[in-house]
Amino acid sequence: MLLQPVDYFLVVWFVLAAASTLYVGIDQYRNNPEPVVMKWGFILVTLYMGPLGLLLYVLADKEPRPGEHEDFTKPLWKQGVGSTIHCVAGDATGIILAAVITAMLGLPMWIDLIVEYLAGFAFGLFIFQSLFMKSMMGGTYWENVRKSFLPEFISMNFMMAGMALVMSFLMMGRDMRAMEPTELLFWGVMSIGVIAGFALAYPANVWLVARGLKHGLMTERSKTEALAQSTRHQHAMTETHGTGKPSHEQHSSHAAESQAAAKPEHAGQASHDANKVSAHHGGHQMSSDATTAQVAALGAVSLLALAIGMIAPANWLNMTLSARDVGGAIMPPGMIMDRDTPADAMRDMAAANPRLVTASFGLDAKGDQELPFRMENGVKVFELKPSVVKWTILPGVTVDAYAYNGQIPGPRIHIKQGDRIRVNVINELPEETTVHWHGMILPNQMDGPAEITQKPIEPGGSYSYEFTATQHGTYFYHPHAKPDREQALGLYGALIIDPANPADEVAADHDYVIQLQEWLKREGLTYPSMPMSGGMPNYFTINGKAYPSTDTIHMKVGETLKVRFIGTNNGFIHPMHIHGGPFEVVARDGETMPASARFLADTINVGPGQRYDVIWKAQRPGKWLIHCHIPHHTTNNNVEQKGGGGLMTVIDVQ
């Protein structure tokens, strides 16, 4: 499932990378007179660098016309490309393999980088340089290890310096999917890392080639090919004899003829003049004119670059984290993450995973529907199933949310004072949860705080809450395991308890529950909104909908309306105001106020967890608003629609 715009870009990138790699592979084996190790070097680097690898191949190595490879690859900048190619091909392969393994093992990032460096260096030195190039370098395997060690060490240091910086900052940025090898983003970061490593290693490789410390591009032709080159050269010379205008082809054929006149296996020698290459024992031996001071200085700078690439990110990032710690979480835009930010905080702030959505609900779906029950030995038995859903709050605007029984707010539990109830909670979330019965007097083990009164309900687990309702009034339920995450993503619902004595109820002609919520949706993902950097909400809902999709309450002049305000939101105090005249506050936090303590108001501050019951009388016909008096909270992503948004609903009085 593609979650972000970058995912679509990566799909295109990897399709281009595959096509580029296929072209390079076919062309290398059909047309290009490179040694096998260089063929595979260009194939691997094109696989890692995509179209950029193809560009390097075409500009620096692809034989433009038959017989011209030697002259075409002579320029030092192209020889440097070749040297960097067989450095990157070996080193990057080891680094990428190590990155996959360390991620699967759950090793922290700082260990990951060390293992990647060692693996890349070992693969580049012992496999790609000393083993795969043994036939060209001559001598024994261990002689080649000794001769290759220093140039490989320098080149690898620069290569890893570039890759380490890219991997650290991109893997441990907002989108932690980059740490998961099962995600496209991981491979995208690897590709960018290889490109950065190539760019940083290239200047050093040019110098190493120029001083005869590393091989660049080579040409390897069979005796038949060399003889054919000589024949073509002679034919070209015959055709152009006396013209006084020798062509580029003549020059190339002359180089080929010279090589063929020596030994066919030395056909690539002409392209290595700049490398101080000499034929010896059938291989491509090198002699260097680099001084000890020069090599030492370059080696020291490479170590400095490596130290910066490996260590500097720890000043900004928590390098003790691993892929397992963050689990592919995506952080909200603007969240401040630093070297002290723990993995728990990142997971808590992370977006709800759209891949885990079990059901989608349109604009017509309503929350706060009364929850049915069954009777068992005089006990009312209810069932709650929290799960991940896609919920529509406005036309065209959905949130990935946590919901009880597929509703936001969760279903209303409506009982009577004195009822004994049992609520079976079956956890279908990807994380642990509990349920707390806010404001209720009940046995301590039924209260719901995770790790305090009960073990959390693990994913797939269940727990039964059972108690007798000794109170009456307006209450609600919500999680008490990660409530700043789970409640903010939609887990809450009303618990309405009628009094055993109907006379204790403050009666009204209409009864309406208002449950408040704040949402954070950015770049197509839904995050738990919190009053902190990066967590501020941009959508607000009443009973799971934002105005103008909220309910309209229909009344007649002279009728009364009981509004039960419930602070099911997490982060803000909402001054709730009703137009058209004052209301009477008759209950607070579930407790009915004595008649002498009741008071008139037109605005009441509803904080998280608070409940107010108010009685409003329709005195004039018309459309009268109920809304939060913070203007930002009556917008949808900072935009007004049909006169407002967010925490607004209309009372239509006839």
When the pLDDT of each residue in the chain is averaged and rounded to a whole number, the result is: 89
Q: What CA–CA distances, in Å, run from 546 to 53, 488, 580, 593?
A: 50, 15, 22, 31
Q: Enumerate helices (H) and strands (E) in the chain, giving the number of each.
A: 15, 26
Place of tokens 């991981």: 186
- Taking Cα atoms as reference points, which of 311, 612, 628 lies closest to residue 475? 612
| 488 CA to centre of own chain | 21
| Pairing label, strands 473-478, 283-286 | unpaired
- Asked if pLDDT for residue 47 goes beyond 80, the answer is yes
Least confident of 3-7, 278-282, 458-462, 541-545: 278-282
Give the DSSP H or E segment for 29. helix 5-31
Going by C-alpha positions, the residue among 172, 161, 167, 157 that lies closest to residue 190 is 167
8 Å CB contact between 100 and 181: yes
Give per-residue pLDDT as tens, 445-457.
999 999 999 999 9
Tens digits of residue pLDDT in 104-121: 999 999 999 999 999 999
Residue 254 lies in a domain: no
First to last CA, the chain: 50
Q: Of 526, 306, 294, which Cα lies nearest the Cα of 400?
A: 526
* pLDDT reported for residue 87: 87
pLDDT in tens, 555-579: 999 999 999 999 999 999 999 999 9
Whether the predicted pLDDT of 10 surpasses 70: yes
Sign, CA dihedral 63-68-69-72, equals negative
Q: C-alpha 417: how far from its chain's center? A: 49
In this structure, is residue 262 part of a structural domain? no
List all residues 6 or more positions away from 265 whose beta carbon is below 8 Å from its beta carbon: 220, 282
Q: Are residues 13 and 157 in the same domain?
A: yes
pLDDT tens-place string over residues 375-393: 999 999 999 999 999 999 9
Listed residue (340, 294, 346) closest to 325, CA to CA: 346
pLDDT digit string (tens) for 349-379? 999 999 999 999 999 999 999 999 999 999 9
**What pLDDT score does 252 carry?**
38
Cβ burial, residue 281 (10 Å; 0-12/13-18/19+): exposed
Residue-wise pLDDT tens digits, 83-112:
999 889 999 999 999 999 999 999 999 999
| CA–CA distance, 271 with 217 (Å, rounded to integer) | 8
Judge if 42 and 188 occupy the same domain: yes
- Evaluate whether residue 255 is within a structural domain: no
Helix (H, G, I), strand (E, B), or coil: what is residue 332? coil
Structure tokens at 434: 């509990």
Residue 188 domain-assigned (yes or no): yes
Mean pLDDT, range 515-520, rounded to an integer: 98
- Give me the phi and psi of 635, to 5 degrees please: -130, 165
- Same domain for 363 and 322, yes or no, is no
User: How many whole angstroms separate alpha carbon 267 and alpha carbon 261?
Assistant: 9
pLDDT for res 35: 87
Q: Determine the residue type at 618.
A: A
Element (H, E) at 613: strand 611-617
Looking at the structure, do residues 311 and 387 belong to the same domain, yes or no? no
In this structure, are residues 348 and 482 in contact, taking their beta carbons and an 8 Å threshold?
yes
Please report whether residue 267 resides in a domain.
Answer: no
Check residue 216 and give its pLDDT: 87
**One domain for residues 292 and 378:** no
Grouping H, G, I as helix, E, B as strand and the rest as coil, residue 597 is helix
CA–CA separation, 67 vs 250, rounded Å? 10
Beta carbons of 310 and 163 less than 8 angstroms apart: no
What span, in angstroms and rounded, lies between the C-alpha atoms of 439 and 422?
Answer: 17
**How much is the pLDDT for 127?**
77
- Reported as a pLDDT band with limits 50, 70 and 90, residue 139 is low
Give the model's pLDDT for residue 133.
62
Q: How confident is the model at residue 430 (pLDDT cuts 50, 70, 90)?
A: very high
Residue 599: its pLDDT value, please? 97
Is the pLDDT reported for residue 525 higher than 70? yes
Q: At 11, list the tokens.
A: 């799909």
Mean pLDDT of 521-537: 93
Domain boundary pick from 326, 347, 377:
326
| DSSP structure string for 369-419 | PBPP-EEETTEEEEEE-EEEEEEEEETTEEEEEEEETTBSSEEEEEEETT-
Evaluate if residue 274 carries a pLDDT over 90. Answer: no
300 and 447 part of one domain: no
Together in a domain, 321 and 372? no
Contacts of 313 (CB under 8 A, 6+ apart): 164, 165, 168, 169, 172, 319
Q: Which residues pair with 386 in a beta bridge?
A: 404
| Residues 363 and 320 both lie in one domain | no
Residues 589-624 have pLDDT tens digits of 999 999 999 999 999 999 999 999 999 999 999 999
Shared domain check, 194 and 101: yes
The rounded distance, in Å, linking the Cα atoms of 632 and 574 is 11
**Final residue belonging to a domain, choices 303, 326, 349:** 326
DSSP-assigned letters across all residues of 615-628: EEE--SSEEEEEEE
For residues 364 and 427, state if they share a domain: yes
Distance CA 330, CA 172 (A): 10
Q: Does 282 reside within a domain?
A: no
What total of structural domains would you count in the chain? 2
Residue 473, domain CATH: 2.60.40.420
Do 557 and 630 reside in the same domain of the chain? yes
User: Quick check: helix, strand or coil at residue 500?
Assistant: coil
Q: Is the pLDDT of residue 62 over 60?
A: yes
Question: Is 256 a member of any domain?
Answer: no
| Beta-sheet strands, E only, within 148-249 | none
DSSP for 94-142, please give it.
Answer: HHHHHHHHHHHHT--HHHHHHHHHHHHHHIIIIIIITTTTHHHH-S-HH
In a domain, residue 270? The reply is: no
What are the E-state strand segments in 532-607?
Answer: 539-542, 552-555, 560-566, 574-578, 583-588, 591-592, 599-601, 603-606
Asked whether residue 256 carries a pLDDT value surpassing 60, the answer given is no
pLDDT of residue 294: 95
Q: Tell which residue, 199, 197, 145, 135, has the closest CA to residue 166.
A: 197
Give dist(CA 603, CA 337) in Å, integer: 38
Determine the pLDDT at residue 288.
Answer: 85
- pTM for this entry: 0.84
| pLDDT for residue 236 is more than 80 | no
- Render the burial of 64-79: b for 16+ CB within 10 Å, e for the rest: eebbbbbbbbbeeebb
**pLDDT attached to residue 628:** 98
Out of 150-154, 545-549, 550-554, 564-568, which region has the weakest mean confidence (pLDDT)? 150-154
Given 326, 344, 377, which residue is the final one in a domain?
326
Question: Do both 303 and 404 map to the same domain?
Answer: no
**Residue 476 bridge partners (DSSP):** 438, 494
Count of CB atoms situated within 10 Å of the CB of 259: 23
Maximum CA pair distance of the chain?
123
- The domain in which residue 174 lies consists of 5-220+288-326
Give the H or E element holding residue 278: strand 277-280
Is the pLDDT at 238 greater than 80? The verdict is no
Q: Of the given ranges (207-221, 281-295, 342-356, 490-504), which has the lowest mean pLDDT?
A: 281-295
pLDDT for 317-333, tens place per residue? 999 999 999 989 999 99
For position 226, what pLDDT does the model report? Answer: 57
